[in-house]
Amino acid sequence: MTEPSILVHASKPKGYGRGSFRKLPNKYKLFLMAFPFLVTTFIFFYLPISGWIYAFYDFTPGIPLSDTPYVGLKWFKSIAQNHTQMEEVLRVMKNTVAMSALGIVTSVFPVIFAILLSEIRTPWYRKFVQTLTTIPNFISWILVYALAFTLFSVDNGVVNTILIKLGFIDEGINFLATNSNVWLTMIAWYWWKSLGWGAILYLAAITGIDQELYEAADVDGASRFRKIWHITVPGIIPTFFVLLILSIGNFINNGVDQYFAFQNAMNKDSIEVLDLYVYNIAFANNFPFATAVSMLKSLISIFLLFTANSMSKLIRGESII
Amino acid sequence: MRKKKSPKDVAFHAINYALFGIFTLSCIYPFYYLFINTISSNDLSAAGYITFYPREIHFDNYVNVLKISGLAHAAYVSLYRTVVGTLLTVGASAFLGYLFTKKEMWLRRLWYRMLIVTMYFSAGLIPWYITMNNLGLTNNYLAYVLPTIITPFNIILVKTFIEGIPPSLEESAEIDGAGYTKIFRSIIVPLITPILATITIFSAVNQWNSFIDTAFLMTDTKYYTLQFLLWRYLNESSSLAALIRNSQDMAASVQHMQTPGSVRMTVTMIVVLPILIIYPFFQRFFVKGILIGAVKG
Amino acid sequence: MRLKRTLILMLAIMIVVVMAACSKGNNGAKESAPSTESTASDSSPSASDNPSDSASESPSSTGLDHSQTLKLSVFSTTANYAGPQIGWFAKAIKDKFNIELDIVSSNLTGGDTKIAAMMASGNLGDIVIWGDDKNNYPNAIKGGLLLDLTKDGLLDDYGKDIMATYPKAIEKAKIAFGGGSSVYGIGNNVASNPSGPSEGKDMTWGPDLRWDLYQKVGSPDINSPTDYLPVLKKMQELEPKNSQGKKTYAFSLWSDWDGNYKMTLAKQFANMYGYDEIVDTALYTKADEEKYYDFLSEESWYMKSLKLYFDANQMGLLDPDSLTQKFDDVVAKYKDGRLLFSWFPWLGAANYNTPENIAAGKGFATVPFKEEVMYSTGFNVYGGNGIISIGAKAKDPKRIMEFINWMYTPEGAMLSAGSGTAVPNGPKGLTWDLDAGGKPFVTDFGLKAYADQQNTKLPEEFGGGDYYYGANQMNFSFVVPAEVNPQTGEPYDHNLWESSIKRNPNAIESSWREKYDALTAKDYFVKNNKIAVAPQGFTGKEPLVMDKTLEQKNKLIGTVIQQYSWKLVYAKNEEQYNKLKQEMLDKVKGLGYDEVMAFSIKKAEELFEARKSVK
């Protein structure tokens, strides 16, 4: 590891020899070790945030901010400036909450996946499954949609063809252009794509569990389920809760790609989450509006994150951050 | 293992194996689908005739990708950013994650929170571009590896993982009088290999797959990465499709070009393959029990 | 205590370091500009390898020194290619001006955001090409990113041909964007003569039908678009399945082009009545009269088109996958012989009329309806909305101006007129030549190159490479291809040369020509006076633009209209159709449709005023 030497270099020019560094109380020593990284964080994450200022101007790239009119909260207000627009935003928020809630409820899927996979005793089969289930993660949503179209299109779609041949239906069903069960379909696609990849973290967590615990349980004659429940699950729980709290922070960030790929006039009412809505209406180069929205979203996210963290402290007695 | 298997056990395993088998098949099929479509006649593929087996096999799609100029050098740049970028971020995440487990750090909670909240920040590409430009990180290899050194998500993962390790292991070293860096190197690092392997995979995949930074920060071809070239190639085919909207002349005379669909599929194949080849090698870090044995043995 | 103080000191240092990093970065950015120039001059010694005889050969009377290779970076918002210009066009300008082009394409590297980032960086390169004159171009002028071409006599000394042939284009540049005196860019597709249609041999719209099937059902007369439905139904009954056994349809729509406010495919019939939308507004305007209508009104062909597709769907003529498929899927269906109707010649005919299909007597051809009045874009003496500019920090603007000027001359136009929208003519002596009477004709090699741009390799003395990538990749059409070349008396576009039009027609073309007594579709519409040419004028004022708040409302209205348009087409029955229609009208009204309408009317008035300038 090269970091410690970086650290020494970073602190030397400021007048600290090894000797005086050693004499520092631990709390400052630790801080000094983290210091270069904090500076890096500041440079790459906090400096760009100065761009939030664009949200308060009629900013156009290429024209200096000093020549740009200051407009105050205009762009924030423009998110919902009349009744109809308000209704649109409410509809969009309903979808956002639904998708995020579904996402959070189903976030145990990769945990289950990881636990069951670790129960597989044939090494080659486990490796085979673990490797190949990550494939969908690398296929872009556009291609996933293309594939879905091949499978589900009315005319010649594999699924419709089979259903018709088997006599279940007379005419093709347009699976992709329907407003019913959109949320469930979307979450299903989502997990199909991310399950294998998402389970990696839990597989790592399971690896970290002390093997002696299982051996002791075997001696006691514990059942498979008891071992999972009393040893594996508690070993995974911290990772699960961290991810859970982080995802609560992301409650209003569903991303665009998946919904963009699958959206059409029929399912739009249910599929349009906040991110897609903003993408759909701010596409025409409206930077100040886009900035205002992303600023607002950042603030809400951070608020949600800390709320979730406090809740965790109240309920579980420990906070994550 | 030593015990005789009960019928319940057998049933459990049968169902478990079967479920994973079915799910894995559903994951392989799209890959297979992409593959047979990239080697079948592009017209047949576009018209949706290729579902289960290839027809009119050809390899033009792959040959055309190989014709992109500067491919070899771009692959080298990609490899560089993947290796260097991953090493830096894994090292930094491990060390910083460890430091943040130390409750005695001055204002620890503040620094940690300031780090975490950055995951939820975004000011858009333009301010990011202006910042990078001001830092002199355009047409500069450092632009690939410096900004990713701090990846808050990785740091959280490491910190959580370390907190799950029995504290006794570390305490014994502290009594020995070893410093933080020594404890980190000799005790913590061996203990956290599974999570390091995990973040190595995450970072390497991210590095390998990035192209937006190249698109915005690099104008000199010597900094181009493989992913960027592939992405540009893909864009070229789709914007050509848009171009021929208004010209019969053009439409007829560039018909032989790859369709955006075939290009997209080919590029995906090329991107997924190296990951599928390398990932299994990392899986040896995920075997139950390897860890404690390594430390004790 | 001492420690605490030192910690505070450290924090201070951290801030200083960061600030220093920033300001240093600033310097770095400033320094980097000259450094690109130095790389350019580094490479210039290599130019001495190629003897500079090319420069002395150059007939230019400008007296500029061409001995040094000038490497220009071209930032093009329209290009579909990134990297150094190669092939025959590269060879031509290298020989003539000792110029090399390096093309930066925003389309391929981040789109609008890339443009914004380039603008924010303050340096757009040497030559800048704008896809339209809205937003970015005026902003770049305001931000001081573009060079004023009237400075230092650039235009007067090195842009003489533009000044002489296309003075109106300069006039527009001055009034619309240059505060009355400066010129920051010159329009594309410029013409010197304001009358007649500016299209090539085909018009933009058809409609086209499967000619073989249309004839088999007795080529019935068609008066209005709705009359196509029964005819198409009969055609479908005649060929219900394609050769692979898949169902055929009359119409197959796609939604991925709907970015612009309306359902793209419901806009087309209005154009066949001589109307066109004002982009992103609520109005359709007549091409040659001061008439307009609300596109959501009953009389509007937008609404009538939706009804037409609704009826088609009820009759089984509409592809059920229209909503969920993409344009590429539709192209594949045309190629696969599954569709019988095409709005545009470049869709059906271009994809289906392959040599094999033609040999089998099958193909698409235009079948106009009686009421049809084809919308046509007139010649534009002021230049189109695409703009070519020189960057404020450009090196050697004189040589750049000289080069741009040449692209507007007959010599430059014969080489690459129509770049980006049509197949350019290419180098003289290879793909085309002049006959004894001084008339241009396409050579056999040219025929091959035009028909298959990508797989035709050029000889080394013309630059090598394939024809497609060798074309001018800036993707800017300087002179409109249908403009008549004063040196030959024929248009620049090789498709319009008499020798090309008279070349042996195929069976479909012959039978079409016989029925309509015309050589080309354009010929038919012009001859029968079924054409409405929209004069391309200019108000002499800065163009009206929506303010950002209205623009945002409008965007929202657009998304609602798009969504409901599709729902209408796929409505289950008449009753549901009417209910959805009312819902749409109520919703857009609530979102501020009236405000958009008020703006649209102002925009229409502006357009009518502009037309007066060329009458």
A9 and A97 within one domain:
no
Q: What span, in angstroms and rounded, lies between the C-alpha atoms of B180 and B202?
A: 27
Q: Is position C9 within any domain?
A: no
Q: In this structure, is the dihedral angle defined by the CA atoms of residues A45, C115, C74 and C186, taken in order, positive or negative?
A: negative
- pLDDT digit string, tens, across residues A242-286: 999 999 999 999 989 999 999 988 898 999 999 998 887 765 567
Residues A176 and A41 in one domain: no
B289 touches chain A (CB under 8 A): yes
Q: Does residue C176 lie within any of the structural domains?
A: yes
Chain A residues with CB under 8 Å of B102 CB are 26, 30
The span from the CA of C472 to the CA of C18, in Å, is 45
- CA-based angle B206:B212:B218, to the nearest 5? 115
Measured between alpha carbons, how far is residue B150 from residues A34, A290, B179, C18, C207 in Å? 11, 26, 24, 17, 59
CATH number for region B69-296: 1.10.3720.10
% of chain B exceeding 90 in pLDDT: 43
Tell me what the mean pLDDT of segment C362-372 comes to: 94
**How many domains, chain C?**
2
How does pLDDT run across C28-73, given as a tens digit for each residue?
333 333 333 333 333 333 333 343 344 334 444 667 888 899 999 9
| Chain C residue with minimum CA distance to A66 | C143
Query: What does the block give as tokens for B160?
Result: 């959580």
Interface check for B261 against chain A (CB to CB < 8 A): the answer is: yes
Q: Which chains touch C (3 or more CB pairs under 8 A)?
A: A, B
**Cβ within 8 Å, pair A250-B104:** no
Domain that holds residue C236: 208-377+505-612
- Encode pLDDT of C298-312 as tens digits: 989 999 999 999 999
The residue of B83, B90, B161, B235 whose CB has the most chain A CBs within 10 angstroms, and thus the best one to mutate to test that interface, is: B161
**Cα distance between residue A77 and residue A54, in whole Å:** 15
Shared domain for C555 and C445, answered yes or no, is no
Which chain B residue is nearest to residue C256, measuring alpha carbons? B242
Which residue out of A38, A84, A271 would a mutagenesis test of the C interface target, given it has the greatest number of C Cβ atoms within 10 Å?
A84
User: Inter-chain contact C139–A63, Cβ cutoff 8 Å?
Assistant: yes
Would you call B124 and A46 a contact, using CB atoms and an 8 Å cutoff?
no
C-contacting residues of A 259-278, CB under 8 Å? 264-266, 268
Could you report the predicted ipTM of this complex, rounded to two decimals?
0.87
Task: Pick from B247, B259, B262 the residue to mutate for testing the C interface (most C CBs within 10 Å).
Answer: B247
From the list A172, A265, A284, the residue facing C563 with the nearest CB is: A265
List the domain range (segments joined by +) for residue A212: 81-316
User: Tokens for C421?
Assistant: 């929208």
| CB-based contact A177 C570, cutoff 8 Å | yes
Q: Identify whether residues C192 and C219 lie together within a single domain.
A: no
Smallest CA-to-CA distance from C318 within C300, C333, C296, C303 is with: C333
Among chain B residues, the shortest Cα distance to A301 is held by B120
**Do B46 and C335 count as a contact with CB atoms less than 8 A apart?**
yes
Please check whether residue C39 lies inside any domain of the structure.
no
Q: Under an 8 A CB cutoff, do C556 and A88 touch?
A: yes
**What pairs with residue C479 in β-bridges?**
C190
Q: Which CATH number goes with the domain that contains A215?
A: 1.10.3720.10
* Inter-chain residue contact B47 with C333, CB threshold 8 Å: yes
Is A50 part of a structural domain of the chain? yes
> Cβ of C325 under 8 Å from any chain A Cβ?
yes
C464 belongs to a structural domain: yes
* Cα–Cα distance for residue pair C362/A123, rounded to 1 Å: 60
Which of A118-132, B282-296, C213-227 holds the top average pLDDT? C213-227
Q: Which of B13, B20, B51, B180 has the most A C-beta neighbours within 10 Å, making it the best mutation to test the interface with A?
A: B20
In a domain, A218, yes or no: yes
At B279 the pLDDT is: 85
Q: Is C545 on the interface with A (CB under 8 A)?
A: no
> Residues of chain A whose pLDDT is less than 70?
1-19, 282-285
pLDDT score for C29? 37
Q: Tell whether B211 is within 8 A of chain C (Cβ).
A: no
Grade residue B284 by pLDDT with cuts at 50, 70 and 90: confident
Q: Is B212 on the interface with C (CB under 8 A)?
A: yes
pLDDT at residue C561 tops 70: yes
The domain ranges of chain B are 1-58, 69-296
Shortest distance between the Cα of A37 and any Cα of chain C, in A, equals: 11
Q: Output the six-digit token pair for B219.
A: 């104008």
Average pLDDT score over chain B: 85
From CA C589, how far away is CA A82, in angstroms rounded? Answer: 11
3-class secondary structure for C462-522? HCCCEHHHHCCCCCCCCECCCCECCCCCCECCHHHCHHHHCCCCCHHHHHHHHHHCCCCHH
Residues of B in contact with C28 (CB under 8 A): 134-136
The set of residues, in sequence order, having a beta carbon less than 8 Å from that of C182 and lying 6+ positions away, is C148, C149, C150, C151, C174
Which among A24, A26, A27, A44 is the top mutation candidate for probing chain B, defined by the most B β-carbons within 10 Å of its own β-carbon? A44
- One domain for residues A242 and A304: yes
In total, the C-beta contacts within 8 angstroms joining chain B to chain C are 138
Q: Are residues C223 and C347 in the same domain?
A: yes
Q: In the predicted model, what is the mean pLDDT of residues C493-497?
A: 89
Answer yes or no: do A154 and A226 share one domain: yes
pLDDT digits (tens, 9 = 90+) for C445-487: 998 888 888 788 999 999 988 898 899 999 898 999 889 999 9
Q: Are residues A105 and A42 in the same domain?
A: no
Closest approach of B1 to chain A, Cα-based (Å):
9
C102 domain-assigned: yes
Number of domains in chain A: 2
Closest CB to C422: pick one of B212, B245, B250: B250
Is the pLDDT assigned to residue C76 strictly greater than 90? yes
pLDDT confidence bin for C20, thresholds 50/70/90: very low
Q: Does residue A108 sit in the same domain as residue A169? A: yes
Cis peptide before C207 (omega within 30 of 0): yes
Nearest CA in chain B to A309: B113
Q: Are B113 and A249 in contact (CB under 8 A)?
A: no
pLDDT in tens, B30-74: 999 999 999 998 888 888 888 889 998 989 889 888 888 889 999
Partner B, chain A 11-50, Cβ-Cβ below 8 Å: 26-31, 33-34, 37-38, 40-41, 43-50
